[in-house]
Structure 1
């Protein structure tokens, strides 16, 4: 009888230890998966709520400069300091390249707020002295912007004098 009690106690202790080991092995995996899923869903939500539209563009062939107006049509605000991390591609179709913020373009939020590009507001992208732009009036220009969150918009327009 006492041997059955000792055997039962040993098996019970073994089961508790096994359960503890199992919990310690599985809990970090569950935590990592839930954290990854939360981050992914947040990123997808941000991208779904971010929408922009290129509403106007003008290229001066003689000055090798361009002005592009872009409106925030989404339901989320975009931090203005994130705009400098955007990728901008410009040039003739098939002959375009990326230009960097530090050496090729600037932006201006036209409707006011200096910290955020709010829904409904327009920004002006100003590109000066860019060798990628055509020097002949009437040439086609390709423009694309990629926001840090992955939103992409592109257009083609004709260069002016």
Structure 2
């Protein structure tokens, strides 16, 4: 082999090493981000599996157009009060519609712990169906059990 063949082989080898040196850190970073994302997805799945609550009462006061919901956290996941959504007759209830929330009598509570009862009072006229959705998508619905007083 002559010098030109050996020299060109050395140049190609150095080029391959430089390309690998550029590509490998990018791939390692991407694989790390992918592994982190998969771990977070598993954590969200576990939270969803451990989330359970029930609507223990839904009472509508027709004189005051006030719907009162009592929800019991029967799962093992702590839920956020402000992250709990309420839909009445298919319409999501905004902060302006929600008159008050309290957890076992504490109106300043931000968390709804396992075993605790969340009470929500909503200004709404004539509800037929109520759906409550937790922050991780777990939902409970009541349509026949709304008591009118």
Residue 100 of structure 1 pairs with residue 87 of structure 2: no
Query: How large is the Cα RMSD of the aligned pairs?
Result: 2.7
| Preserved CA contact (<8 Å) 2:86 2:130 | yes
* Length, aligned pairs only: 146
Residue 109 (structure 2) aligns with: 114
Instruction: Find the aligned partners of 1:34 and 1:158 in 2 and give their Cα distance.
Output: 46
Report the CA distance between 1:109 and its aligned residue.
0.3
Residue 135 (structure 2) aligns with: 148
Residue 160 (structure 1) aligns with: 148
Report the CA distance between 1:111 and its aligned residue.
6.3
Displaced runs of 4+ in structure 1, greater than 6 A?
none
Report the CA distance between 1:57 and its aligned residue.
1.8
Instruction: Find the aligned partners of 2:129 and 2:99 in 1 and give their Cα distance.
Output: 15
Instruction: Tell me the secondary structure at the aligned position of residue 67 of structure 1.
Output: strand
**Which residue, out of 85, 97, 111, partners 1:87?**
85
Gaps of 5+ in 2: none
Report the CA distance between 1:9 and its aligned residue.
4.4
Report the CA distance between 1:85 and its aligned residue.
3.5
Report the CA distance between 1:152 and its aligned residue.
1.0
Instruction: Find the aligned partners of 1:111 and 1:50 in 2 and give their Cα distance.
Output: 22
Instruction: Find the aligned partners of 2:110 and 2:84 in 1 and give their Cα distance.
Output: 16
Report the CA distance between 1:62 and its aligned residue.
2.6
| Preserved CA contact (<8 Å) 1:47 1:150 | yes
| Preserved CA contact (<8 Å) 2:57 2:146 | no
Instruction: Tell me the secondary structure at the aligned position of residue 101 of structure 1.
Output: coil
| Preserved CA contact (<8 Å) 1:49 1:76 | yes
Q: Cα distance 1:7–1:110, how it changes in 2: closer, same or farther (>3 A)?
A: same
